[in-house]
């Protein structure tokens, strides 16, 4: 077998190593990890907005309820007031009872009005929070767009490099015999990154174990460029 054909095996192995590296880069793009953390933040923010909006609906219901009760107290106060000064009340006892009612209504009115003030301030806080969260969400969505764009660009670039490496690999494969190729592929299953190593004395360049003197002599005796196997690890060794 011609030595330079075996030499092409190293080219093939180089392209395979490059392909594995490019695939790894595609799978571990730092932007992808960043994106998944931003998506997580987005989901937390959306949940929070949902909760705050539900809270806001409840607060507004309370506001409505207080306003209704206040309005009915006002109506009642007007009625009682009119009755008190209409002249139809003749006894002291009746007048006292109406004045007591006015007192109770006014107390209740005070309580409700301070509750309403509290609720109005809650509504203001809630609106501020929802607005802040919505702005955060906008920023998050922009970040997502930028990251997705970067991922697409980087992935396309890497895929282009993969196509080029595959083309070069295809050219290299053409000059190798089926027998060498099959042997290389079979060894690659066990040694994905260094199925074939160069002979460089008794220490194997793959497993770094020292071959016996007899084995070393056997390989030394081979023609330069000949293909054999390491007796220790089984990797392909090019003399
Ligand atoms: Zn070895």
* 83-105 pLDDT, tens digit each: 988 888 889 999 999 999 999 99
Average pLDDT over residues 138-150: 98
pLDDT at 67 over 80: yes
Q: How far is the CA of 3 from the centre of ligand 1 (A)?
A: 21
DSSP class of residue 211?
Answer: P
Tell me the average pLDDT of the chain: 94
Dump pLDDT digits (tens) for 182-201.
999 999 999 998 999 999 89
Q: How far is the CA of 219 from the centre of ligand 1 (A)?
A: 13
pLDDT at 77 over 70: yes
DSSP H/E element including 119: helix 92-174
Average pLDDT over residues 207-218: 93
pLDDT at 34 over 80: yes
Rounded to whole angstroms, how far apart are CA atoms 157 and 24? 14
Q: How far is the CA of 2 from the centre of ligand 1 (A)?
A: 23
Residue 3 is predicted with a pLDDT of: 58
Q: How far is the CA of 170 from the centre of ligand 1 (A)?
A: 28
Q: Domain limits of the chain?
A: 3-176, 181-238
- Of residues 90 and 64, more confidence is placed in 64
Residue 173 CB partners (closer than 8 Å, separation 6+): 12, 181
Residue 90 is predicted with a pLDDT of: 81
Q: How far is the CA of 223 from the centre of ligand 1 (A)?
A: 19
Rounded to whole angstroms, how far apart are CA atoms 35 and 33? 5
Residue 181 is predicted with a pLDDT of: 94
Q: In CATH, what number does 3-176 get?
A: 1.10.287.1490
* Neighbour-count burial for 116-143, b at 16+ CB within 10 Å, e otherwise: beebeebeeebeeebeebeeebeebeeb
The whole-model pTM stands at: 0.71
Q: How far is the CA of 199 from the centre of ligand 1 (A)?
A: 10
- 8 A C-beta contact, residue 165 and residue 19: yes
pLDDT at 213 over 50: yes
pLDDT at 2 over 60: no
Residue 1 is predicted with a pLDDT of: 45
Angle of helix 3-27 relative to helix 178-190, nearest 10 degrees, comes to 40
Confidence band (pLDDT; 50, 70, 90) for 156?
A: very high
* Cα angle for residues 183, 201, 5 (degrees, 5° grid): 35
């Amino acid at each position: 077998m011609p030595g330079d054909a075996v030499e092409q095996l190293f080219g093939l192995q180089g392209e395979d190593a490059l392909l594995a590296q490019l695939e790894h880069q595609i799978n571990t793009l730092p932007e992808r990890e960043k994106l998944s953390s931003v998506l997580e933040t987005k989901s937390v923010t959306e949940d929070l907005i949902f909760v705050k909006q539900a809270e806001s609906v409840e607060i507004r219901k309370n506001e409505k309820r207080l306003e209704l009760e206040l309005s009915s107290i006002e109506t009642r106060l007007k009625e009682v007031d009119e009755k008190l000064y209409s002249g139809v009340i003749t006894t002291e006892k009746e007048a006292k009872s109406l004045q007591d009612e006015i007192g109770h209504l006014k107390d209740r009115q005070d309580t409700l009005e301070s509750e309403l003030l509290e609720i109005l301030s809650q509504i203001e806080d809630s609106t501020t929070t929802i607005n802040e969260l919505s702005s955060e969400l906008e920023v998050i969505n922009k970040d997502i767009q930028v990251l997705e764009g970067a991922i697409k660009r980087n992935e396309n670039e890497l895929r282009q490099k993969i196509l080029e490496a595959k083309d070069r690999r295809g050219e290299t494969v053409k000059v190798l015999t089926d027998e060498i190729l099959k042997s290389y592929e079979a060894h690659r299953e066990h040694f994905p990154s260094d199925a074939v190593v160069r002979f460089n004395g008794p220490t194997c360049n793959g497993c770094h174990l020292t071959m016996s003197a007899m084995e070393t002599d056997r390989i030394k005796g081979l023609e330069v460029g000949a293909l054999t196997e390491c007796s220790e690890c089984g990797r392909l060794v090019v003399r």
